[in-house]
Amino acid sequence: MQCINKWIPSFDGCLIHCQVEGNFDAPAVLLSHPLGCDLSFWDELAAALAEHFKVIRYDSRGHGRSDSPETEFGVDTLGRDALAVLAALEVNRTHFVGLSQGGMCGLWLAAEMPGLIERLVVANSAAFIPRKEGFAALAEKAREEGLAEIARTMIHGWLSDDFKAREPHLTNNLVARMASMSVQGFIANLAVLRDVDLRQSLGAIELPVLVICGADEPPPLQMAAQGIASAVSGSTLITLQGVAHLSSLENPTLFNERVLHFLSEPDRS
C-alpha cells in the first residue's frame, strides 16, 4: 500500500505535515489527534483502516512536524487547517475521526461545512469546557518552567491506573512527546480548549455521529459526551469500559473495531 508525506500550507501559510496511506481508491477518512500528541497517535487505527480507506492523518499546528504558531488561535483555525489538507489532496468528502481536541475540530467541520463529512467519530471530547480559571495558570507555568512537569501531570491524568501500570513505556513516550512541544505551540493550543464553545452549533449537524467516552473518565467528561450525543440527532453514544481519556490507546482493539464497524455501515438514508 502507498504511503506519502506532504507539507501543506494552510490559509495563513502555516505548514501542516500530513501522511496519506492505505487504499487510495477507497473513501477517505481524516484522523485528528489530541493536544500534545502527533499523527503517530493513530498508528494502530490507521493500520486497521488501511485496507478499506484512504487514510489521511496530520500533525495539528504546534505539534509534530507542522509549524508552530506565534499567537493563540481557536477551533475554527484547526478546522481551516483540516480543510486546507483536504483541498490540497483533492478530497471533497471524507469520514472524520477525532479524539479530544481532534473531536472538537470534527464537530466544527460538521457544523460549518455541511456535506463535507460523511460519518463523524467524536471520541473523549467536549463541545465546551466550563472551568476557565485553570488555563491562565497553566499557560504561565509553561512559560516559567517549560512542559516537562505539565506533560507528566496531564498525560498521567488522561490514562487509567491499570494502563499506566501495564504500559509504562508507552506512557513515558506520550509524556516525552508532549514535553517536546514548543511552549508557544502548547499555549496556543490551550487557547482552543479555553475558548471552544460549540454548543449552539451541535443542532446543525445532520450526519451519522459516533460519540465515544471512557468509563474511567471523570464525570464531567462523561457528561460532555452525553451532551454531544443528546444535541446531535442521529448520534450514537458508546462507553468503553476500563479506559479513561485516551481510549484509542488504552483499548485499541475495541476502539478500532467500533470505529471500523461504524465507518463501514451502509447509509440508512
**pLDDT per residue over 213-239, tens digit each?**
999 999 999 999 999 999 999 899 999
Stretches where the chain sits below pLDDT 50 are: none
Enumerate domains of the chain plus CATH numbers. 2-129+196-264 (3.40.50.1820)
Tell me if 46 sits within 8 A of 77, measured CB to CB. no
Tell me if 125 sits within 8 A of 107, measured CB to CB. yes
pLDDT of residue 133: 80
pLDDT of residue 1: 66
pLDDT of residue 61: 98
Going by C-alpha positions, the residue among 76, 85, 34, 83 that lies closest to residue 58 is 85
pLDDT of residue 268: 56
CA 223 to chain centre: 18
pLDDT of residue 57: 98
For 112-132, letters b (16+ CB in 10 Å) and e give: beeebbbbbbbbbbbbebeee
pLDDT of residue 131: 80
| Main-chain phi, psi angles of 182, to 5 degrees | -70, 145
CA 242 to chain centre: 20
pLDDT of residue 267: 74
Tell me if 39 sits within 8 A of 57, measured CB to CB. yes
pLDDT of residue 68: 93
